[in-house]
Amino acid sequence: MATASNRRDRLIATSAAVVVVVLAASVVVTVLTAERNGRKALEDLQLAQMQQLGRVLDGALGPALTSKVGLTNPLTRQPWTLAPNDASDAAALNALQSSQPTARTGYVLVDASGVVVNGTLLQPGAIGSRVDRPGLSGVLAGNAAVLPTSDKSLTTPLPTIAIARPIRANGDGPVVGALLQESDVAADSQFTKLLAGFRRANTDEYSFLDVNGIVVASTNPTTVGHEAAPILLDPTAGFHRHGGDVTAIVDLPTIGWTAGYRQTTSEFEGNLTGPLRSALVLLTIAALIGGLLTFFALLSRLRAARREQARLAAINDAREEFISIVSHELRTPATGQLGFLQTLLDHWEDLDDNRRRETVRQAYANARRLHALSRDVLDTASVEAGELPYAFEVVDLRAAAQSAIDAIPNPDHELAIDGVDALPVRADPERIQQVLANLLDNAMKNSPSGTRIDVVLDVSGDDARVRVSDRGAGLTEDELGRVFEKFSRGRYTTVTGTGLGLYICRMIIDAHGGRIWAETRDGGGMTVTFTLARVSDAADGDGTDTDEVPLAGTATP
C-alpha cells in the first residue's frame, strides 16, 4: 500500500520532471534550429560577398579583354609597325607603360608568328625570341585571353599573368600580331596588395586562381604563384565545408578565373555559435536544475501529503480501536456485575450467607473495575485536553500506598509493603492514589494469582522513590519501552484492559515533575518505579497547604 503510493508519487514527480526536460529539449531543438538557420544565413552571406567580389573583378578585367586601347599605336593613331625595335612602336609602348599605376606591368608586341618585336621592361635578349606561353596561339587565332600564370615571362623573372589581345590589320582584318600586358604574380604585386584589405579575421583567406589553379593573388602571400590548396580547387562554385574549414568558390567566367575564400569553421561560425552555444548550455543547465527541483519538490510534497494521510489514518484507527477496546472493556465488568447479581437473585434460597457474601463481593469487584475503567477513559480525555485538575499538598507516600492496598477487597495476590516508614512529597493525593491503584492493578493483571507483589518505598537523593514489582512473565525490552504509551497492553494471556492505566500514570507523574519507568525485575516479572521530589521533614507536619489549589483536593486518608 505504502510502496504503491510511493511508486505513484515517484511517477507523478518523474512525469513532472520529464515534462520540464521535454520543454527544455524543445528549447534546445529550437536553439539548434536557430543555429542551423543562422549558419545557413552566414554561408549565404559569405557566398554573396564572394560573388560580389567576383563580379567586380570580372567586371574590371573583362573590359580589358575587349578594349581597343593599345591595338593601334596610341601616339600616332596608326597601326603598329610590328617591326623589331621600331622606334615609334617603342615610344607608344613606353607611353602605355607610364600610364599604368604600377611599373610592374610590361607591354609586349609580338608578330603573327609569336615572335617578340618590341616591348617595355623586357628581359635582355627578348626581342626576336618566340613567346613560349600556353594560350598564345588562341590569341593569334583572333581571341583575346588572359594567359595563365607562367614562369616564361618576357618582362620579369617572376611568374606573370598576361592579358593578350590580337592585333588585326586595319582593325578588323587578319591577325597580324598581338599585344601582351604582362603583370607579375608576387606577394608584393599590386593585386595582392589590393586583396590584403579584404581580411577581417585571423584565418580568413581570399585568393584568385587562374585556369590552371595557380594562385594569382592572395591575402596569404606565401601561396601566390603556386598551385592553390586542394580545398580551393573544388570544381564546383558555392559554399563548402571541408573538415575544419569552410570555403566559398566563385567562378569569374569572363577571365576564366576562380575566386576562393577559406576560413576555419570555428572562426567562421564563432560569432554565431558562441552566444548560441552559451545560451544552449545555460538553458540546458537551467532545465536540468528545474527538472530536478521539480522532481524533488513534488516528491517531498507528495510524501508529506502521504505521511499526513497515514498519520490521520493512524489517528482514526487508534480512535476506532479505542472505542472497540473501551466498549469491550466496559462491557465485561458490567456483564460480570449483572451476572453475579442475577445469580444471587435467582438462587438466593440456594445460597448460604457465606456464598451470598462472596457473590456480592464478586459483583462489587466487577463494579469497582467498571468504575476504575470509566475513570481511566474519562481521565484520558481530561489529561489530553489539559483539564485534569491538580491540588497539591503534602502527601505521605507510605500512607498512600497502604491506602491503595487496603482499597483492594480480597486480593488474589499477596500484597506487601516495605521500606521507609514515612515518605512525604508534594502531590495531589487523589492522583497519587490513582497512580498507585493503577500500578497495583497492572501488577495483579500481569502476574498469576497467589504470587507476591512488592511495594517498596525509599529515598534516592532528593527524590522519593516507589517501586511496584510483580512476579509475572515480565516484558521484552521493546515492550518495556512502550508500556507507558496509550493503548499499550500486555501479552499475558489473561491480561485485559484499556491500555490506558500506565499511560495515565505517566501523565500524572509528568505533571508532578517526577519520572516513571518500567524494567525487568531481578528474578522475573516487572518493576515499575516512579520518583517525586521529596519534601524535607521540617516542611512536613502542619498538614496545611498554602499552594495553588485549582480545585479542592482531599487529603490522603
Partner 1 sequence: MSRVLVVDNDVAVINLLVLDLDLEGHEVLATALDGDEAVRLCDDLRPEVLVIDLRLGPGLDGLEVAGQVRKPGLRIVLHTNYVNREVLQRARSLDVVVVEKGNLNALRRAVASDA
Q: State the residues that interact with partner 1 by CB under 8 A.
A: 328, 331-336, 338-340, 342-343, 346-347, 350-351, 359, 362, 365-366, 369, 412, 449, 491-496
Min dist CB 438 to partner 1, Å, is 18
Angstrom distance (rounded) from CA 520 to CA 501: 19
Specify the residue for cell string 512529597.
425
Positions of E strands within 340-411: 393-396
Backbone φ and ψ for 245, nearest 5 degrees, come out as: -125, 155
Please state, in angstroms and as integers, the Cα–Cα distance from residue 114 to each residue in 66, 138, 171, 177, 473, following that order: 20, 11, 19, 7, 134
Closest Cα to residue 326, out of 372, 291, 271, 267?
A: 372
Min dist CB 440 to partner 1, Å, is 16
The CB-side HSE value for 51 (13 A sphere, CA atoms) comes to 9
Angstrom distance (rounded) from CA 21 to CA 291: 6
Rg of the chain over all Cα atoms, to the nearest angstrom: 59
Cβ-count burial 450-486 (b if 16+ within 10 Å, e if not) = ebebbbbbeeeeebbbbbbbbbbbbbeeeebeebbeb
Among residues 295 and 340, whose Cβ is nearest to partner 1?
Answer: 340
Among residues 7 and 361, whose Cβ is nearest to partner 1?
Answer: 361
Among residues 98 and 494, whose Cβ is nearest to partner 1?
Answer: 494
Among residues 219 and 366, whose Cβ is nearest to partner 1?
Answer: 366
Closest Cα to residue 359, out of 344, 381, 370?
A: 344
Among residues 301 and 347, whose Cβ is nearest to partner 1?
Answer: 347
Among residues 448 and 524, whose Cβ is nearest to partner 1?
Answer: 448
Strand partners, 175: 168
Min dist CB 378 to partner 1, Å, is 21
Torsion of CA 288, 291, 293, 296, to 10 degrees: -130
Q: Is the CB of residue 114 less than 8 Å from the CB of residue 137?
A: yes
Min dist CB 322 to partner 1, Å, is 16
Distance between alpha carbon 93 and the CA centroid of its chain, in Å?
80
Min dist CB 407 to partner 1, Å, is 18
Min dist CB 310 to partner 1, Å, is 27
Angstrom distance (rounded) from CA 390 to CA 426: 11
Among residues 130 and 328, whose Cβ is nearest to partner 1?
Answer: 328
Q: Is the CB of residue 554 less than 8 Å from the CB of residue 486?
A: no
Min dist CB 493 to partner 1, Å, is 4
Among residues 254 and 359, whose Cβ is nearest to partner 1?
Answer: 359
The C-alpha cell that represents 437 in the structure block: 491503584
Min dist CB 363 to partner 1, Å, is 9
Give me the amino acid identity at 371. Answer: H
Min dist CB 528 to partner 1, Å, is 22
Min dist CB 10 to partner 1, Å, is 38
Min dist CB 537 to partner 1, Å, is 43
Please state, in angstroms and as integers, the Cα–Cα distance from residue 548 to each residue in 389, 428, 432, 436, 553, following that order: 11, 11, 17, 23, 11
Strand partners, 180: 108, 164
Cα angle value 202/208/213 (rounded, 5°): 115
Closest Cα to residue 92, out of 104, 108, 103?
A: 108
Among residues 73 and 366, whose Cβ is nearest to partner 1?
Answer: 366
Min dist CB 533 to partner 1, Å, is 38
Backbone φ and ψ for 478, nearest 5 degrees, come out as: -60, -45
Residues 6+ apart with CB under 8 A from 79: 72, 73, 167, 169, 170, 176
Among residues 95 and 341, whose Cβ is nearest to partner 1?
Answer: 341
Among residues 369 and 512, whose Cβ is nearest to partner 1?
Answer: 369
Q: Is the CB of residue 401 less than 8 Å from the CB of residue 466?
A: yes
Min dist CB 441 to partner 1, Å, is 13
Among residues 21 and 377, whose Cβ is nearest to partner 1?
Answer: 377
Among residues 38 and 448, whose Cβ is nearest to partner 1?
Answer: 448
Among residues 284 and 332, whose Cβ is nearest to partner 1?
Answer: 332
How many CB atoms sit inside 10 A of residue 103's CB?
Answer: 11
Min dist CB 496 to partner 1, Å, is 6
